Structure 1
Amino acid sequence: MNGLMRTLSDAKWRFTVPILLLLFWEAFSRSGVIPASLLPAPSRVFNTWMDWMFGLNESAQDNSGKWIFDAMASCMRVFTGYAIAAVLGIALGVAIGWWRWVERAIEPTVQMLRPIPPVSWIPLAIIWFGIANKPAIFLVFLGAFFPILMNTVHGVKTADRNLLRAAAMAGARQSQLLRFVILPAAMPSIFAGLRIGIGSAWMLTVTAEMVAVKSGLGYVLWDSYYFLRYDLVIAAMISIGLLGYLADLLLKMIMNSVLRWQHVATVQSHKA
């Protein structure tokens, strides 16, 4: 019973601010201070969004009923580029953090490339890959790769050296040290990088869809801006935010499952 009351109390505080913001937005939009065409009310945005999703009344015009196709196109680009970034970022991050010669050989190049904004690669991406999925996937990869890489390097370098010494004294080989000591110790930092990377991945796929692709949520957002359909622009923004939140939530669930040992150790230390 206490657990249920605590859950209800948490839910109340979790939704209070969004509800108040929506009410203020609705009242301000209807007040006429700003023309409704420039700041559509939440009720109008919701109506357009529902038509975009389910094709109810054609208020979204040519986009009516096509939300699922736009969302799937964006999700495909995000998760393809993100998966490549995760695999390469973790592998290279472990190598840089573990082997000094790899760090000396690769880190200067990484540190020169890292400050370059991913959006500045758009002209080259279009030249190299054309107007299709590939430039968007490339930009998503760039946006997600460096946060994952740098957090992995940090996790490997800050692993407890006493654990390494103990495992080495027990006769563990280098491959065993990496698998059973370094990777588990670095996992919290790796997941931090993965969560930062998924947010960057969504931002970059929307940017790429605005200029290099003719489908997806970002394309609908930009196309709607040209036709002054700000209700659809806001609906696209909400869709991107919702899908990004769900992706992060899924990643957080995986993290909690993988790092279950960490939570158990924390609870036991509090009990002690």
Structure 2
Amino acid sequence: MTSITSSRFYRHIERGIVPVLLIAGWEAFSRSGILPAALLPAPSQVLIAWADWIFSTDGNTQTYSGHWIFDIAASAGRVFAGFGIATVMGVAIGMAIGWSRSVESLVEPTLQTLRPVPPVSWIPLAIIWFGIANKPAIFLVFMGSFFPILLSTIHGVKTCDRNLLRAGAMTGGTGSMLLRHIVFPAALPSIFSGLRIAIGSAWMLTVTAEMVAVKSGVGYVLWDAYYFLRYDVVIASMVSIGLLGFLSDYVIKAISGRVLRWQRGSTLQARER
């Protein structure tokens, strides 16, 4: 038990080595004077601004002071609204396309035509359709999240083992039963991979939308701080987005680990982490 605990402790240390080295190098470079401190704030300066943005410690971030939780809540609401809609539609349509050749022939050509269109190119239409509010951001998050989930679901359905389907059919399983009890569970590893890709895209797209079409959230703060030359707040916004994306991915990964616990004995997930 002690050896397992110590092994996990050393793994946590290993994961922290690269971030610590990057922060130390960044601090040293910022203080070297090669670039003006205003253009590349040191991590210590960013931390001070970030602390005031969160806790309103000394008011040095002025209008942003103490508003971090509200900005985070605004961005997270848009992310999870668009991501949730994309998950439901992406999984449902992906299951239908992967299972039925007629649905695939009918729907997939249109979807594959829309897929290469960059989500950010929808911004002008999103503003025209929905105005300056939450809806254009949710729409862009949906557009950025939908296709990774859709394609992963289709892949998961199409790679389902035919022997499992034959065995299910031999025991009297109907089409809907096979889809629900065999195909969907078999597709879950691919679906969760798509969800992890999509949640990263969701955070990127909501920040992009907040820079253009919304007047609140972390992306809006980032863009507004840029205009006022508050690059410490800009970097604090970037770090906040990165941490939120990491936490979102961690939650999906944890859910995946519980749902797919049957994989642990037969895949590399069996390795102790």
Aligned positions, number: 269
Task: Please list the CA deviations of residues 22-53 of structure 1 after superposition, one character each: whole Å capped at 9, or x if unmatched.
Answer: 11100110110000000000000000001000
**Is 1:99 equivalent to 2:100 in the alignment?**
yes
**Correspondence for 2:254:** 253
**Correspondence for 1:179:** 180
Counterpart of 1:172 in structure 2: which amino acid?
A: G
SS of structure 2 residue aligned to 1:264 = coil
**Is 1:154 equivalent to 2:155 in the alignment?**
yes
Task: Please list the CA deviations of residues 117-151 of structure 1 after superposition, one character each: whole Å capped at 9, or x if unmatched.
Answer: 00000000000000000000000000000000000
Counterpart of 2:241 in structure 1: which amino acid?
A: I
TM (normalized to structure 2)?
0.97
**Correspondence for 1:41:** 42
Shift of 1:9: 1.2
**Correspondence for 1:4:** 5
Residue pairs, 1:82-161, within 5 angstroms:
82-161=83-162
Residue pairs, 1:167-246, within 5 angstroms:
167-246=168-247
SS of structure 1 residue aligned to 2:265 = helix
**Correspondence for 2:21:** 20
Counterpart of 1:81 in structure 2: which amino acid?
A: G
**Is 1:78 equivalent to 2:79 in the alignment?**
yes
Counterpart of 1:246 in structure 2: which amino acid?
A: L
Task: Please list the CA deviations of residues 56-98 of structure 1 after superposition, one character each: whole Å capped at 9, or x if unmatched.
Answer: 0011110000000000000000000000000000000000000
**Correspondence for 1:65:** 66
Counterpart of 2:21 in structure 1: which amino acid?
A: L
SS of structure 2 residue aligned to 1:121 = helix
Shift of 1:266: 4.1
Q: Distance in 1 between matches of 2:267 and 2:78?
A: 37
Counterpart of 2:67 in structure 1: which amino acid?
A: K
Task: Please list the CA deviations of residues 102-128 of structure 1 after superposition, one character each: whole Å capped at 9, or x if unmatched.
Answer: 000000001100000000000000000
Shift of 1:264: 3.4
Structure 1 stretches lacking a partner, 5+ long = none
**Correspondence for 1:51:** 52
Shift of 1:265: 4.0
Counterpart of 1:13 in structure 2: which amino acid?
A: E
Q: Distance in 2 between matches of 1:42 and 1:265?
A: 43
Q: Distance in 1 between matches of 2:265 and 2:95?
A: 26
SS of structure 2 residue aligned to 1:168 = helix
Q: Distance in 1 between matches of 2:267 and 2:226?
A: 49
Counterpart of 1:177 in structure 2: which amino acid?
A: L
% identical aligned pairs: 64
RMSD: 1.2
SS of structure 1 residue aligned to 2:214 = coil
Q: Distance in 1 between matches of 2:166 and 2:9?
A: 48
Counterpart of 1:5 in structure 2: which amino acid?
A: S
**Is 1:30 equivalent to 2:31 in the alignment?**
yes
Q: Distance in 2 between matches of 1:49 and 1:212?
A: 24
Counterpart of 1:242 in structure 2: which amino acid?
A: L
